[in-house]
Chain A
């Protein structure tokens, strides 16, 4: 019966209240579209990362006849850039190290190409001319970064050719470190670029959720009237709840399905991600029906949750302080916390367990932000009721008003909490580029390597003048030495990558002597080629350099603590990193998009705080005026206003700080990033409390003065 009534009401609205109904559907569509797109992007990212790891050759530690030499290069033909990996088995009869995705050893001089490249070769005679002999097999999916990748494995025509090439890598197996030789053999896997794009998109998720809530709220006037009518007719609370759920769930679900379908259509095509140059195929973006269903359910649930809050309108006014619920505020707060944070933690657990959690993480994040209003509303109510029971008149009045205006108060605080949480998450993300906010704790060794991005020549020369800095190596691909252990050629980049993980590196003691590591030649190389005239030793920066992870290295006598070196290096306005982790520079447009999203979000949040605060003041002015007329002193009124502003503000800031810590550290852990420092988080919290103090002060002074003026209002 409820179903049929709900259906009839929706049909009626389609005629009479079409615009509001459609607004809910559109809002749900946008939210689902963004979540679905983010889920698809995350799917691509995880697949890309997995494949990049799977196909990277493992460098041979001891020579075996089954080894294979690899040498990467790229060719630009017209506007098409093709990655070519030459390979050369040491012994044809015993080869076990075939390139990933290549099923059988092709004949010498034969190329095995990716399906996408095969299509291009078939369509472009000019391109085909560069690959005179193509094997009858194509590279399987597991050997490709993505199905659209243009790559060819070319078996050198003459066996033994690469053995004499210092730039070639001798690999014993497939499955090495993608951050080392993978970046030499292959084009940038751009995993971090995709992650950055996803993050930029994530910033728009919050406004999307707010749009969804606003769309639902736009219908509140209509729904409020209906609730009152039905209440007067005698409808039970559960019946009204069901009607509201149907009323909102249907248009929201329709909109969400439309959003998911739009994404599904979008993912049928292969296209290039902006800024990254990364080609994405529909197959990789397809997250599957179960995830799409989850997204639809999550969006519909979000909309319904927003609507169900309206059921409190049955009682047109909130309970008085003396009519308290049997459920204590503490229980309410605990319940709200568990219901809001629960989904996030549950999804986080899924990710930690190694499941395909990225999609669930996004859905969980949506649930979290949707649940946040409920959490804060309950928190505000609990605080209000607790204060209202106090005998102190200021707290008594403040508590009663907080409890009464819980929705308005919560709205004011939601923006604040979202702002703090988002800023902390962004801060974690930025540690990828600026670990100065979170120095890695490493023990000092005889010398330290500071690897860095984008050292200019001028910066390098300045760094050389610092006491203790022995060399600044700007990376190039020209081989400078050979690793005595592996026989691998050593260029500047390889040197930087090897050193932090090489077993002998930490044991080097005394003055800068690298003979134990690189047969004594690196030190000589540094001395003869770099110090002190670094400008003369610079290699030409090549494309490979640009795609490498690290572009410069400082070799440093480690008499100072890491932090001291960090501070010294920081004065040169160059991002630096203490070695162990390798970071990647993102294209500046992506950073621009992230900043744009962040600034948009911050502006939205601040605007929201301003509007909510304004509404809060307006609402309270009548009460305040009455209190002045009654005989309340200005000071007492100021204290009352201060209490009702400061207490929930402080509580919200505390909750926000806790959530910030939780989300920031969880995000840092999941993505292998540096967590923000405690001082940063403390600073963020204190800053928020400072904002609260200013708002409280302004409210107290302004509110009392305003009340005083209104009390004198003439008839």
Chain B
């Protein structure tokens, strides 16, 4: 993991030199990115590098641009300047259709409330990305069950999301995020509605899942639990991303 801002201090044990972002060949590289809405600049000169299996936490107050950063990484928002690269492939110059496919196959996303569909059971929620990718039935069942087993909820596939506890629902959301074996997992306030104990468990499982699937992990949060568990912590400060 690397913060590629010139002023950042990189202390991560697995970090590559800040001046050599290209050495992160299987992770996420953000170089000199500016994110703005109209004339208003949300983030500027953002440099960040996250290797496969690493865990970076981005902290900041509400409205500071954390979710916008995630949206830019996911290809949901265009950037005004700079480059975003995942697995050595530029994301920011993909077409809209390419970004959609890329997001579906290479990124796993978890939001505060999981964005799970209450009308689907756990199995169908986890299977959703594979269905969108057009996976055949046999592959779908195998991969979904594997993802559920990874999170220790292999026997809850038929359960309705709405009858699950908060922790169980988050495990389902994590399982959905890793079911396509993405290169990057991003999470937006994944523990916002959980107590400290459950938060710690969810973050631990999220980290384990990312490591097992060799995915880079970026979590946007202000939860102390996340701060403690992360390999590197960054803070949004005056439109800049600063390492703590």
Interface residues of A (CB under 8 A from B): 316-323, 388, 391, 393, 396-397, 400-401, 403-405, 623, 625-626, 628-634, 636, 711-715
Complex Cα spacing A32 to B160, Å: 42
A322 (CB) vs chain B CBs: closest residue: B121
Complex Cα spacing A391 to B74, Å: 27
Q: Is there contact, CB below 8 Å, between B109 and A629?
A: yes
Q: For the complex, is B20 an interface residue (Cβ under 8 Å from A)? A: no
Complex Cα spacing A398 to B104, Å: 19
Q: Is there contact, CB below 8 Å, between A628 and B76?
A: yes
Q: How far is the CB of A320 from chain B (nearest CB, A)?
A: 3
Q: Is there contact, CB below 8 Å, between B103 and A317?
A: no
Q: How far is the CB of B101 from chain A (nearest CB, A)?
A: 7
Ordered by A's residue number, 14 sampled pairs between the chains whose C-beta atoms are within 8 Å are A320-B119, A393-B132, A396-B131, A626-B116, A629-B76, A631-B101, A631-B104, A631-B129, A632-B100, A633-B101, A634-B100, A714-B63, A714-B67, A715-B66
B121 (CB) vs chain A CBs: closest residue: A320
The total of chain B residues at the interface (CB under 8 A) is: 46
Which residues does chain A contribute within 8 Å of B132, judged by CB atoms?
393, 630-632, 636
Q: For the complex, is B117 an interface residue (Cβ under 8 Å from A)? A: yes
Q: How far is the CB of A253 from chain B (nearest CB, A)?
A: 36
Q: For the complex, is B162 an interface residue (Cβ under 8 Å from A)? A: yes
Q: Which of B42, B66, B131 has the most CB of A within 10 A?
A: B131
Q: Which of A322, A391, A636 has the most CB of B within 10 A?
A: A322
Which of A393, A634, A713, A715 meets B65, CB within 8 Å?
Answer: A715
Q: Is there contact, CB below 8 Å, between A711 and B117?
A: no
Q: Which of B94-117 contact A (CB under 8 A)?
A: 97, 100-101, 103-105, 107, 109, 111, 115-117
Q: Is there contact, CB below 8 Å, between A321 and B65?
A: no
Q: Which of B57-100 contact A (CB under 8 A)?
A: 62-68, 71, 74, 76-77, 97, 100
Q: For the complex, is B6 an interface residue (Cβ under 8 Å from A)? A: no
Complex Cα spacing A322 to B97, Å: 31
Complex Cα spacing A630 to B111, Å: 10
Which residues does chain B contribute within 8 Å of A388, judged by CB atoms?
119
Q: How far is the CB of A463 from chain B (nearest CB, A)?
A: 65
Q: Is there contact, CB below 8 Å, between A715 and B120?
A: no
With contacts A628-B76, A631-B132, A714-B63 taken as known, whether A322 is within 8 angstroms of B118 at the C-beta atoms is no
Which of B65, B71, B119 meets A404, CB within 8 Å?
Answer: B119
Complex Cα spacing A714 to B161, Å: 26
Q: For the complex, is B123 an interface residue (Cβ under 8 Å from A)? A: yes
Q: Is there contact, CB below 8 Å, between A631 and B103?
A: yes
3 A-B pairs with least C-beta separation: A631-B104, A317-B162, A404-B119
Q: Is there contact, CB below 8 Å, between A320 and B161?
A: yes
B102 (CB) vs chain A CBs: closest residue: A631
Complex Cα spacing A212 to B74, Å: 50
Q: For the complex, is B54 an interface residue (Cβ under 8 Å from A)? A: no
Q: For the complex, is B139 an interface residue (Cβ under 8 Å from A)? A: no
With contacts A316-B162, A711-B71, A712-B77 taken as known, whether A400 is within 8 angstroms of B124 at the C-beta atoms is yes
Q: Is there contact, CB below 8 Å, between B161 and A633?
A: no
Q: Is there contact, CB below 8 Å, between B124 and A629?
A: no
Q: Is there contact, CB below 8 Å, between B128 and A714?
A: no
Q: Is there contact, CB below 8 Å, between B121 and A633?
A: no
With contacts A626-B115, A629-B74, A715-B188 taken as known, whether A321 is within 8 angstroms of B120 at the C-beta atoms is yes
Which of B68, B101, B129, B162 meets A715, CB within 8 Å?
Answer: B68
Q: For the complex, is B163 an interface residue (Cβ under 8 Å from A)? A: yes
A711 (CB) vs chain B CBs: closest residue: B76
Q: For the complex, is B220 an interface residue (Cβ under 8 Å from A)? A: yes
Q: Is there contact, CB below 8 Å, between B160 and A319?
A: yes
Q: Is there contact, CB below 8 Å, between A630 and B131?
A: no
Complex Cα spacing A339 to B92, Å: 59
Q: How far is the CB of A640 from chain B (nearest CB, A)?
A: 10
Q: How far is the CB of B165 from chain A (nearest CB, A)?
A: 14
Which residues does chain A contribute within 8 Å of B14, judged by CB atoms?
none
Q: Is there contact, CB below 8 Å, between B63 and A323?
A: no
Which residues does chain B contribute within 8 Å of A712, judged by CB atoms?
68, 71, 76-77
Complex Cα spacing A509 to B162, Å: 81
Which of B107, B120, B189 meets A631, CB within 8 Å?
Answer: B107
With contacts A629-B74, A630-B128, A631-B104 taken as known, whether A320 is within 8 angstroms of B63 at the C-beta atoms is no
Q: How far is the CB of B124 from chain A (nearest CB, A)?
A: 6
Q: Is there contact, CB below 8 Å, between A400 and B131?
A: no
With contacts A320-B124, A396-B131 taken as known, whether A626 is within 8 angstroms of B76 at the C-beta atoms is no
Complex Cα spacing A636 to B104, Å: 13
Please name 6 further chain A to chain B contacts, defined as beta carbons within 8 Å, in addition to the given A631-B129, A714-B67, sorted by A numbering: A321-B119, A391-B131, A633-B100, A714-B37, A715-B66, A715-B189
Q: For the complex, is B228 an interface residue (Cβ under 8 Å from A)? A: no
Q: Is there contact, CB below 8 Å, between A320 and B109?
A: no
Contact bitstring B129-154, A, C-beta under 8 A = 1, else 0: 10110000100000000000000000
Complex Cα spacing A715 to B186, Å: 15
Q: Is there contact, CB below 8 Å, between B129 and A320?
A: no
With contacts A317-B118, A715-B65 taken as known, whether A323 is within 8 angstroms of B158 at the C-beta atoms is yes
Which residues does chain A contribute within 8 Å of B107, judged by CB atoms?
631
Which residues does chain A contribute within 8 Å of B159, judged by CB atoms?
320
Q: How far is the CB of B147 from chain A (nearest CB, A)?
A: 14
Which residues does chain B contribute within 8 Å of A711, judged by CB atoms?
71, 76
Which of B67, B97, B158 meets A713, CB within 8 Å?
Answer: B67
With contacts A633-B100, A715-B67 taken as known, whether A323 is within 8 angstroms of B160 at the C-beta atoms is yes
